[in-house]
């Protein structure tokens, strides 16, 4: 078979790969019960990312945002798959009252949240980034501040506003 079109997969020792592996490892720490290894997760992400045109190099801050989005996509896909299995259902908002007692997200809410994350990232890329890396990938506020070259205070403020908004979206507060 010809190898005429070398695929643009980052080499596994490259910076992009390391960056993503770190992401996956952090995620992995948060979900110790799964055996999907960080490496395997990165590969899932790589496959996703490489379906996208124009992937920037890892030195580009944009790369981490893209990679994060891909990683999030992998997680959401898995959740969506489960949801389809269970309900064959569509996404819908869950009324506030039902949620009050719960401490976790239903699969539907999880997918709603994902949608809201996309909106958030569109309104403000940094806010989206901060939430993704903390809430989703389990990075500490310091780590995120370091990545973004901003103060931890800024990250905290971003996070508080973004989370409040996300919670309102997921809880079904109507938007005008």
Partner 1 sequence: MDGQLWLNVVDIFHAAVERPEEERAEFVIAACDGSEEIRTQVLAMLDEDRRGVSWLRDGVAAAVDRAFEDMRHSLPFVPPERIGLYERQEFLGRGGMGAVWKALRIDTGQPMAIKFLLPRDRLSEMWRRRFADEISTLARLRHPYIVSFHDAGVLDDETPFFVMDYVEEYVRGMRFTAYSRLPGRSIDERLRLFRSVCEAVLYAHLQGVIHRDLKPSNILIAKDGTPRIVDFGIARRLQDAGEAADATSPSLRVMSLDYAAPEWKYEGQVGVCTDVYSLGVILYEVLAGRHPFRQQTQPQGFTPGEKSDRLPEKPSAIVLRERSADSQPGLSRWAWRDLDKLCLTAMHPDVRQRYASVESLIRDIDHYLNSEPLDAQPRMLRYRMGKFVRRRRRAVLASAATLLLVLSMAALFTWRLARERNVAVAEAARVLYIQNFMNNLLQGGDQDAGPEANLPVTAMLDRGMQQAAALRGEPLIQSDIYQTLGTISQKLGRLSQAESLLQKALSDRESLKDQDPAGIAATQIALGLVYADEEKTQAAEQLVRRSLDELRSRAPGDASLQGEAELALGTVMVTAGEQSQALGELAQAVKTIEAADGPQSPVLARALGKLADAQIYAGDYDAADAFNRRALAIDRAVYGETYPHVAEDLGNLAQTQETRGYYAQAEQLEREALAIMEKWYGPDHPETARKLTTLASTLIYEKKNDEADNLLRRALAIQQRVYGPQHPHVAYVLNSMGAVALGEKKFSEAEKDNLRVAEIYRQSYGDGDYRVGVALGNLASVYQAEKRYPECERMLLDVVDRFTRALGAGNIQTGMAQVRLGRTLLYEKKYTAAAKYSLAGYESLSKQMNPGSGWVQGARHDLVIDYAELREPDREKQFEAVSAAPHIQAAR
- For helices 38-49 and 61-87, give the axis angle rounded to 10 degrees: 100
Cα separations (Å) of 99 from 105, 107, 111, 164, 170? 9, 13, 15, 15, 10
Cα four-point dihedral sign 126, 120, 128, 154: positive
2 binding partner 1? (CB under 8 A) = yes
Helix (H, G, I), strand (E, B) or coil at 161: helix
Nearer to partner 1, 36 or 147 (CB): 36
Among 66, 68, 145, 170, binds partner 1 (CB under 8 A): 170
How far apart are alpha carbons 152 and 149 in whole angstroms?
Answer: 9
Nearer to partner 1, 64 or 71 (CB): 71
Q: Which of residues 74-133 bind partner 1 (CB under 8 A)?
A: 75, 77-82, 84-85, 102-105, 107, 109-110, 113, 119, 122-124, 127
Q: Which residue has 């990075």 as its token pair?
A: 139
Interacting residues with partner 1 (CB under 8 A):
1-5, 7-9, 12, 27, 30-31, 33-36, 39-40, 43-44, 46-47, 50-53, 75, 77-82, 84-85, 102-105, 107, 109-110, 113, 119, 122-124, 127, 134-136, 138, 157, 160-161, 163-168, 170-171, 173-176
């Amino acid at each position: 078979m010809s190898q005429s079109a070398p695929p643009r997969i980052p080499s596994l020792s490259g910076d992009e790969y390391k960056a993503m592996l770190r992401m996956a490892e952090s995620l992995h720490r948060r979900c110790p019960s799964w055996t999907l290894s960080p490496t395997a997760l990165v590969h899932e992400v790589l496959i996703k990312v490489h379906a996208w045109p124009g992937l920037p190099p890892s030195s580009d801050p944009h790369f981490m945002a893209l990679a994060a989005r891909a990683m999030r996509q992998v997680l959401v896909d898995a959740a969506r798959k489960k949801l389809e299995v269970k309900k064959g259902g569509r996404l819908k908002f869950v009324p506030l009252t039902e949620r009050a007692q719960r401490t976790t997200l239903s699969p539907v809410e999880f997918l709603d949240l994902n949608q809201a994350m996309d909106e958030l990232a569109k309104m403000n890329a940094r806010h989206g980034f901060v939430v993704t890396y903390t809430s989703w990938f389990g990075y500490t506020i310091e780590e995120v501040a370091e990545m973004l070259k901003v103060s931890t205070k800024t990250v905290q403020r971003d996070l508080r506003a973004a989370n409040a908004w996300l919670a309102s979206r997921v809880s079904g507060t109507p938007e005008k």
